[in-house]
Structure 1
């Protein structure tokens, strides 16, 4: 009888995992999958019309950056900036491409001389980025995600 009780107790202790619900097993699988994902990388970069979505990630990034810079340069040509002193600096613009494809400036690092000489520069950059054609958002596992970029913009006046 003792052997039977010992066997039953041992069986109950070892079979707990067998009795786990499907929901808890699914939850564990989802948690393991989420831990294994690289959240700092996307499967597909944001794409403007004319960029090939079947191209490699490197080509997609190049197409996105080149299209962004070309459109930004076209919008910037409409503005005449005048500075009293020569300026030679690099401005770093951090922006997001939202899940909806909208572009939003997060931060702009510029020095005091630039702010003093061209106080309207920040607003012009923000307005120019907002007026760009809306790209398709970045994708992670086929789901649109927000992505962050840093654009170095070299300014030289003379």
Structure 2
């Protein structure tokens, strides 16, 4: 038994070098991973239930934007904005989708918007743009994030 131990002991001592590997520093790994992430683009864009069946990222994005534009235009329809301000044919609406899937709508007016009441238009938009279908928020590395985008909303005056 002693002879076997004496033969195996040097092997164990020499083999320890194979187990003594340098483990990368945690902060070093974190910094490396943070450099790999593209911070200007999300992993997946917000999505509506009607766009969930699409797997291609760009097609899903297009579906979402066209569906959102359609929904906003339907909700505004031939509304007071188009009747009060017939010179306005399009409103830029900034849409914010929060990680908890809530929405916020803000109209973006041109610099020369003194000819109409922006507060009144803003209140009309907020009153009309409610009860949207459930929206899946954008994700970055699997974590829901806030996303913002601007939708051009065309205002139509209904024929009477």
Give TM-score, length-normalised by structure 2.
0.68
Cα root mean square deviation, aligned: 3.0
Report the Cα distance in structure 2 between the residues aligned to 1:77 and 1:104, rounded to whole angstroms: 19
The answer for unaligned runs of 5 or more in structure 2 is 1-19
Alignment of 1:46-125 (within 5 A): 46-52=46-52, 54-77=54-77, 79-81=79-81, 82-83=83-84, 86-88=86-88, 90-105=90-105, 108-110=108-110, 111-115=113-117, 120-125=120-125
Ranges in structure 1 where 5+ consecutive residues have no aligned partner = 1-17
- In 1, Cα distance between equivalents of 2:49 and 2:74: 17
The 1-side partners of 2:74 and 2:91 are apart by 18
In the alignment of these two chains, the number of paired residues is 136
Could you say which structure has the larger radius of gyration? 2
Could you tell me how far 1:92 is from its partner in structure 2? Answer: 2.1
Partner in structure 1 of residue 33 of structure 2: 33
Please report the TM-score for the alignment, with normalisation by the length of structure 1: 0.69
1:146 shift after superposition: 0.9
Secondary structure of 1:104's aligned partner: strand
CA change 1:79–1:89 in 2 (3 A) is closer
Q: Structure 1 residues 126 and 39, CA, compared in 2 at 3 Å: closer, same or farther?
A: farther
* 1:48, distance to aligned residue in structure 2 (A): 0.8
Cα displacement string for residues 72-110 of structure 1 (whole angstroms, at most 9, x for unaligned residues): 122112733432x64145432222100011111356224
Q: Which has the higher strand share?
A: 1
Q: String of CA shifts for 1:116-135, please: whole Å, max 9, x gaps.
A: 7xx53212223333432230
Higher-RCO chain (CA-CA 8 Å, sequence separation at least 6): 2
